[in-house]
Amino acid sequence: MNIVVLVKQVPDTYSERTLRAADGILDRAATDPVLDEINERAVEAALQLTEAHGGEVTVVCMGPASAADSIRKALSMGADRAVHLSDDALAGSCAVQTARALAQVIGGLDHVDLVLAGNGASDGRVSAVPAMVADVLDLPALTHARQITVDGTTVTVRRETDRGAVGLTAELPALISVSEKINEPRYPSFKGIMAAKKKPVTQPSIAAAGIAAAEAGLASALTTVTSVVPRPPKSAGQKLTDDGDGGAQIAVYLAAQKLI
Amino acid sequence: MAEVLILVDHLDGQVKKSTYELLAAARPLGEPSAVVVAPPGTAGKLADALTQHGAEKIYLAETDRTDFLTPEVDVLAALVESASPAAVLIAVSADGQEIAGRLAVRTGSGLLSEVVEIGPESVTHSAFGGAYRVEAVANTPHPVITVRSGAAEIGSGRS
């Protein structure tokens, strides 16, 4: 079975993440970019499936040129090839534009049986792009999977969310997004890292991918950020002096705050 | 005044509290219309509670389809077409985010995700764990907005 894995480069959550005041876009230069951890789990799930059932793994990534490092990481884990959609015209795309662009790229690939993705990136918190891609491609969306079973052309997942667990079954082709409980991703081996340098990475322009320039990027985004305000620094608390009635003062303060 | 569609979140025949918050949060944008998608024979029972909490209109869609979350997307997409709402509000949850995203991409609507406040002109997000307050607008008709709990006080009808 041939699998496409969607990956995203995100700012490392350990680094200071800043938004540009002018347009509210993530300041990528000021952060440490990494392959989002949930994507490593999606790559791992894809590798386990192709190891059991045969087929190849293609990584698809939309992002700036620096995302090449994240793609190379996925290839060093064992993916076979990658498509890096990295046209400057895409910068500032909203969720709907992103889903449509990714769907366009996937739709242009031959014989895709399964699309795998993480269930949500650590930076944007939309957590809906995989299902949106599935909707555009008219694929069933099996999201938040912690377990995947493939039997012939039928795929079954165990979906776990804060609402509880449910079993979902669909016929291939389908899209699955994985939760962080799906597996522990492998570390790239030295051999894998060397092999990844020679694996093919295509970089189509938006025109080659079939995306209309008039629909791409910040200027035609369906949503616009109008202001970005950093959280004000915490102000000092109120000091109470204990003149023997400290307990009573605290009680009065808490009562005034409607805490007791 | 335009109507605002609110997807009713319900479990075991009870409307979830987040839905009541949405009925109140919708007011700056228009008149709240509740949209119930539920198995046959269960949707009608929710109507009284929704009216009491400010729903001006209720759409009941009863279906025994078992395709996961797709009936909700289909019903809302059809209503976006027929009712031209000012916005569609959905409570934040794993299912809510997914329904909202699919609805937005299918209807060509701006998606405003995990909003903490709804104003007449813009919505407010909280980014990177509260480090930023970000205001945003949709550039399309009928934006799809997912709303975090606590965005509005639960009301008891017309205010």
Q: Name residues whose C-beta falls within 8 Å of residue B129's C-beta, 6 or more positions apart in sequence.
A: none
Q: What's the pLDDT at B44?
A: 79
Strand B123-127 to strand B132-138: parallel, antiparallel, or no bridges (unpaired)? antiparallel
**Residue for token pair 């509290």:** B17
A135 contacts B110? CB cut-off 8 A: no
Q: What is the DSSP string of A18-78?
A: -B-TTT--B-GGGS-EEE-HHHHHHHHHHHHHHHHH---EEEEEES-GGGHHHHHHHHHHT
Nearest CA in chain A to B121: A226
- Residue B26: DSSP 8-state: T
B134 contacts A126? CB cut-off 8 A: no
Token pair, residue A13, equals 């959550």
B132 contacts A132? CB cut-off 8 A: no
Identify which of B93, B111, B135 has the shortest CB distance to residue A95: B111
Nearest CA-CA distance, residue B76 and chain A, Å: 14
**Does B106 contact chain A (CB < 8 Å)?**
yes
Where chain B has pLDDT below 70, the residues are: 156-159
Nearest CA-CA distance, residue B6 and chain A, Å: 19
Q: What's the pLDDT at A72?
A: 95
Q: What's the pLDDT at A14?
A: 66
A143 contacts B140? CB cut-off 8 A: no
**B153 closest CA partner among B12, B1, B18:** B18
Checking if the pLDDT of A12 tops 90, the result is no
Q: What's the pLDDT at B158?
A: 46
Residue A15: pLDDT band by 50, 70, 90 thresholds?
low
Among A10-19, A69-78, A147-156, B67-76, the range scoring the smallest mean pLDDT is A10-19
Token pair, residue B62, equals 């009863």
**Does B138 contact chain A (CB < 8 Å)?**
yes
What percentage of chain A has pLDDT greater than the value 90?
61
Q: What's the pLDDT at B143?
A: 95
Torsion sign over Cα A173, A174, A175, A180? negative
Q: What's the pLDDT at A148?
A: 96
Q: Name residues whose C-beta falls within 8 Å of residue B147's C-beta, 6 or more positions apart in sequence.
A: B18, B21, B22, B25, B89, B90, B91, B92, B115, B116, B118
Nearest CA-CA distance, residue B109 and chain A, Å: 7
> Do B94 and A144 contact (CB within 8 A), yes or no?
yes
Q: What is the pLDDT of residues A30-50, one digit of tens each?
A: 677 788 889 999 999 999 999
Checking if the pLDDT of A134 tops 90, the result is yes
Token pair, residue A111, equals 């014989």
Q: What's the pLDDT at A30?
A: 63
Q: How far apart are CA A105 and CA A82, in angstroms?
A: 11
**How high is the mean pLDDT of chain A?**
90
> Do B129 and A11 contact (CB within 8 A), yes or no?
no
**Does B80 contact chain A (CB < 8 Å)?**
no
Higher pLDDT, A231 or A174: A174
**B101 closest CA partner among A124, A246, A78:** A124
B93 contacts A96? CB cut-off 8 A: no
Identify which of A135, A225, A227 has the shortest CB distance to residue B105: A135
A143 contacts B94? CB cut-off 8 A: yes
Identify which of A96, A128, A228 has the shortest CB distance to residue B98: A128
Q: What is the pLDDT of residues A204-237, one digit of tens each?
A: 999 999 999 888 898 889 998 888 888 777 777 8
Q: What's the pLDDT at B159?
A: 41
Q: How far apart are CA B150 and CA B25, in angstroms?
A: 10
Chain A residues within 8 Å of chain B (Cβ atoms): 17, 19, 24, 94-96, 99-100, 123-129, 131-132, 134-136, 140-144, 161-163, 166, 168, 221-231
Q: What's the pLDDT at A177?
A: 95
Among A35-39, A76-80, A191-195, the range scoring the smallest mean pLDDT is A35-39
